[in-house]
Amino acid sequence: MERAARTLKKNAEFEGVALHSGDSVRVRLEPAPAGTGIVFRRSDLDDGPDVPALPSALVTSNHRTVLREGPAEVGMVEHLLSACNGLGVDNLIVCVSGSEMPGMDGSALPYVAAMQKAGLLEQKLTRKVFRVIEPVVVREGDAEILVLPPSGDELRVRYLPTYPAEIDDSPFEFFLTQGAFESEVAPARTFVVASEIEALLAAGYGKGATAENTVVLGGDTPAELRMPCEPTRHKVLDLLGDFALLGVSLHADIIATRSGHALNQAAVRRLREQLDDAELAGEVMAQDGYDIRDVMRLLPHRYPFLLVDRVIEVEGFRRAVGIKNVTINEPFFEGHFPDQPLMPGVLQLEALAQLSGFLLQRKLEHTGKTVVLAAIDKVRFRGGVTPGDQLRLEVETLRMSSNRGTVKAQAKVGRRVVSEAVLSFAMIASS
């Protein structure tokens, strides 16, 4: 089911104690433009890089979800990400004053409350939808995650736990909607098995854990639960947070057996590969267009050399369509030519290169890389472009790797092709 992307209407600020480090941490959630995604920003680091909530930033961990970009690291992000998944918040800047998000009450409920108090704002882009195409299976010992193509237009999770004998280990099934998340999953607190506490403390975990934010299973005193199957519901909470790293509205049937963060993360990496393939093939729902502010956010070009006015179609990383409105006020018409103004062919190619850069840069956003034109091949100029024309720019990805991209590009006036080329790009580290 399609819906608009969301961010917050205003900032939300709070503080708390990190569950594992025990440090006091301040957090500020800031609205972000459409297409930004969820980005963590270490406010305690000078000029530290933004850390994107993407599988590429994952640091494999059994006890929590950790993201890292260069020297910047943020752990225990899963509760916030789960809240974002449950509320449908797609674009957010998370400023945090330490290397670990606060544990709050051990659930996602305080994050939900903070974002609801700030208010949710719908944005002009539709949220990208990914329907799982091929089954994904990941296993480790007797733990397993099976991700299947969806039986409906939603995300369904069935979790099969195993706990000490006195703890209810009934399966729990959940269909992701905002209302269901808030009532059935968000309040569930993190937990620990009593026999594991000593080892976890020795490993440096749980310094901020208390009886209020952590449920102890299998101890001398029976655990006081907020709701039936609270530990299993928290497992689903963690899974939803980890799967939020895909950055899409996921439609799938997930069956998880005794899974934890490490297995969740392995499944997410596999799904990210499938999603990338689907985007390159144009099988993921196209997003609505981007205006000039979005273009300027992703491209470094400015007047008088910015030659893309708007991006009107985007299909994943496979295809984009943009427009350049050509007016007599363009500075290049002064010399090309005074009595017969024509848009230079080299600038038509530049416009195509800029749109190609926009398409490819979307994939590289928050990675520390940028797109640079490396080669131009198979150039053909087939017609003139004059003041009053609207140049329609069409680009399609032919090949893409981690450090190279090749794009087929055409410029049209109406149905008439005026120029075309094959453009090659290098992905290099930003200075």
φ, ψ (nearest 5 deg) of residue 372: -130, 130
Tens digits of residue pLDDT in 50-105: 899 999 899 988 889 999 988 899 999 999 999 999 999 999 999 999 999 999 99
Task: Pick the closest to residue 428 from 396, 405, 398 (CA basis).
Answer: 405
- The pLDDT of residue 15 is 96
* Beta-sheet pairing, 66-69 with 58-59: antiparallel
Q: How far apart are CA 414 and CA 410, in angstroms?
A: 12
Tens digits of residue pLDDT in 171-219: 999 999 989 999 999 999 999 888 888 888 888 888 899 888 988 888 7
pTM above 0.85, yes or no: no
Sign for the pseudo-dihedral over CA of 157, 158, 161, 165: positive
Q: Quick one: 228 exposed, middle or buried, by C-beta within 10 A (0-12, 13-18, 19+)?
A: exposed
Catalytic residues: 261, 336
Kindly report whether the peptide bond that precedes residue 331 is cis, defined as omega within 30 degrees of 0: no
| Cβ count near 303 (within 10 Å) | 6
- The pLDDT of residue 1 is 57
Give Rg (Cα) of the chain: 24
Kindly report whether the peptide bond that precedes residue 172 is cis, defined as omega within 30 degrees of 0: no
- The pLDDT of residue 195 is 83
- The pLDDT of residue 34 is 79
- Which residues of the chain have a pLDDT value below 50? none
- The pLDDT of residue 313 is 81
DSSP per-residue string spanning 256-283: EES--HHHHHHHHHHHHHHHHHHHHTT-
Please report the domains of the chain, with CATH numbers, ordered by start residue.
4-280 (3.30.230.20), 292-429 (3.10.129.10)
Query: CA 119 → CA 5, 109, 317, distances in Å?
Result: 14, 15, 31
